Structure 1
Amino acid sequence: MRFDALPLVDHAPVSRPRIERRAVRRVLGETTCYEMPARTVIERVPETAGLGLSFAVSPYRGCAHACLYCGARRAHRYLGLDGERDFGSAIVVKTDAARRLRAELASPRWAGETIGVGLSGDCYQDAEEVYRLMPGVLAALRDAGNPFRVMTKSALILRDAELIAEAAEVAEVEARVSIGFVDDRLRRVVEPGAPSAQKRLELCAELGERGVPCGVLMAPILPCLTDSEDQLRAVVRRVAEAGAVSLTPLVLRLPPGAREWYLKWLAEEHPRLVPRYQELYGAGPVAAQDYRSRVEGRVAELARLYGIGARRAPWTPRRAADHQLALL
């Protein structure tokens, strides 16, 4: 693939996004990439994300999957971009992500906690085919012996399966494929740029065959749309058939930025559900506790019923990490 470079100039119109004052803008088809160095790459994860992670590394901000519900949309506003219109087509690329990560992992202040990779934008979205940032990121984590989880919906992760398997020898590592539901008609609306659930299930199975532990993040479960007993059971059964080593259910969360766009779509397409959503999300971005406990608890019961993770042995290191010096 070839980019058409559009260098920035000092007399750029004021109406241009703020990010263009400090980034190099490059265009690939209908996608605009903003290349810029990262001030830091290990970022804190909000507790409301519900992922059980405190830290994350995201080589890209923005995502070609353009999921309606994505909580990372809000960050686009801080860059002068539109979280609704631009999130799927304006991608921030942290060109020095691997170098910065090595330095931060080597810092005496870093305690070696598990890192989520790809939370602010799928780390294997289309831009990764051009920039190839992930091999360097994975190598840095492997060399430091730092545990991590890679989050993705994309089969491009198979390109790096061998590297992830190597990292799993020195640290607890897991790939996590996001599959919230298996209704493909709904997927085309709320996850317009993402692969089908079937392709993601096949990806999970393929990763397992290549020696990469692969779990499924069952997210999001959409209230009143994908939370029936039949729908939950269908997902869990197919995840079990794909050989997933874990299943983590997560009910839809609606932080500012994602909330406005998702509820706008809901009012247009499913107006009868709006009162129920107002009831569930009246107190903030997280659904009411009793509802979450009931739905996520039922998924956990189904996962036990179908034996997901039952044969997974506790992780033990097979060799020592290299602990290479940071590349400054």
Structure 2
Amino acid sequence: MTQNQRPATRGRGAVTNEILRYAEHRREAIDDGWGADAPSPIATSVDIDHSREIISYNDSPDIPFDRSVNPYRGCEHGCIYCYARPSHAWLGLSPGLDFETRLFQKPDAAAQLERALAAPRYRPATLALGANTDPYQPIERRLTLTRAILRVLADCRHPVVVTTKSALVLRDREILAEMAAEGCAAVMISLTTLDLDLARRLEPRAATPTRRLAVIEALAKAGVPVGVLVAPVIPALTDADLERILDQAATAGAIRACSQLIRLPHEVGELFTQWLATHYPQRAAKVLGLIRQCRGGRLNDPAFVARHRGQGPIADLLRQRFLLAARRAGLATDPDGWRFETDRFRPPRGPQLSLFD
């Protein structure tokens, strides 16, 4: 077994739990001849996130929204490529297995949101729900924080775009349909590959590709505008499915499509390298080589715009393939994303009644 090739933990994406930043000590796993078997399953724990603010703002020029809400830190879906993984290092935890197993919830997320929307200086604009971690990851079934957030947004007629790769979003289709009828809601379904075996390794606890296509169809039939997010595109690993994903998503009812090249910021580069060595060792060198060709010789390029699209002939070809296939499928691809009016917004009503009630 090579340095980067390690046994995988069943049902988890990362194959290591090393803490690579902000830690005084670092642990290295070695193969002593006795530990070749797969590690024991790791249980998921959920702690409280005591953040005082629920809305996160950004001024990034390559993101079509300036605010987002994430009711959870960490994500049990375990997608190995997730660009949010490094945020766990800020908590003194590993962006590897800790990110998938040591989760944090914001139990008062809906109440915090209600207070934020009621602030006199608040001005509405499309809010992204699930821009960092999936708002419909498995613990949402029990905690229902996302549902409570949607209820607040629906009551206020506040525009929202939900991004998820979970079928659990169908639980809230009535709320989303209600908001869509007011012209203030849409859903983006993230779909990386149609290969079931690859998806199970790449996104171990997310809905299957077939199930996600069924979610697109069900949302569209419920009157909810829905799009497909083909991300990340991984050269020599998932890009073969690019055209088929767009075609099948459009057939299911999607009306919009976006695509992003794989990003490997901070620890994600090493985590992804180890994952490739474990699951696809014969393909690892080719995949990493093509990513470097798209990233100026590195595994990651943090520059605005380029971080999503990459550069060079490989990145250009992938972009052209996406645009041509989306056009053939009749899918909108404009970079500004969903456009919602905010003139119907009504701030939450506090405990004090209006003089005109």
- TM-score class normalised by the smaller sequence: 0.7 to 0.9
Q: CA deviation at 1:215?
A: 0.9
TM-score by length of structure 1 reads: 0.81
| Secondary structure of the corresponding residue to residue 277 of structure 1 | helix
Q: For each residue in 1:151-176, what CA deviation from the matched residue of structure 2 results, as whole angstroms up to 9, or x when unmatched?
A: 11111111111111122233431111
Runs of 4+ in 1 over 6 A off after TM superposition: 314-317
Q: CA deviation at 1:45?
A: 4.6
The aligned runs of 1:159-170 (5 Å cut-off) are 159-170=171-182
Instruction: Please give the alpha-carbon distance, in whole angstroms, between the structure 1 residues aligned to 2:270 and 2:57.
Output: 24
Matched, 1:284 2:301: yes
Instruction: Please give the alpha-carbon distance, in whole angstroms, between the structure 2 residues aligned to 1:255 and 1:38.
Output: 24
Matched, 1:297 2:320: yes
- Which position in structure 1 is the counterpart of 2:3? none
The aligned runs of 1:1-328 (5 Å cut-off) are 30-45=43-58, 47=60, 51-228=63-240, 231-268=241-278, 269=281, 270-273=283-286, 274-281=288-295, 282=298, 284-285=301-302, 286=307, 288-290=310-312, 291-308=314-331, 320-325=344-349
TM-score by length of structure 2 reads: 0.75
Q: Is there any run of 5+ residues in structure 2 with no aligned partner, and where?
A: 1-23, 25-41, 353-357
Instruction: Please give the alpha-carbon distance, in whole angstroms, between the structure 1 residues aligned to 2:117 and 2:189.
Output: 25
| Secondary structure of the corresponding residue to residue 34 of structure 1 | strand
Instruction: Please give the alpha-carbon distance, in whole angstroms, between the structure 2 residues aligned to 1:309 and 1:131.
Output: 35
Verify the 8 A CA contact 1:65 1:125 in the aligned structure 2: yes
Q: CA deviation at 1:190?
A: 1.2
Q: CA deviation at 1:327?
A: 7.3
Q: Is there any run of 5+ residues in structure 1 with no aligned partner, and where?
A: 1-14, 16-28
Structural RMSD (CA) = 2.7
| Secondary structure of the corresponding residue to residue 174 of structure 2 | helix
- Which position in structure 1 is the counterpart of 2:39? none
| Secondary structure of the corresponding residue to residue 315 of structure 2 | helix
How has the CA–CA distance of structure 1 residues 178 and 51 changed in structure 2, closer, same or farther, with 3 Å as cutoff?
farther
| Secondary structure of the corresponding residue to residue 236 of structure 2 | coil
Instruction: Please give the alpha-carbon distance, in whole angstroms, between the structure 2 residues aligned to 1:60 and 1:171.
Output: 27
How has the CA–CA distance of structure 1 residues 316 and 247 changed in structure 2, closer, same or farther, with 3 Å as cutoff?
closer
AA in 2 matched with 1:252: I
Percent sequence identity over matched residues? 32
AA in 1 matched with 2:181: E
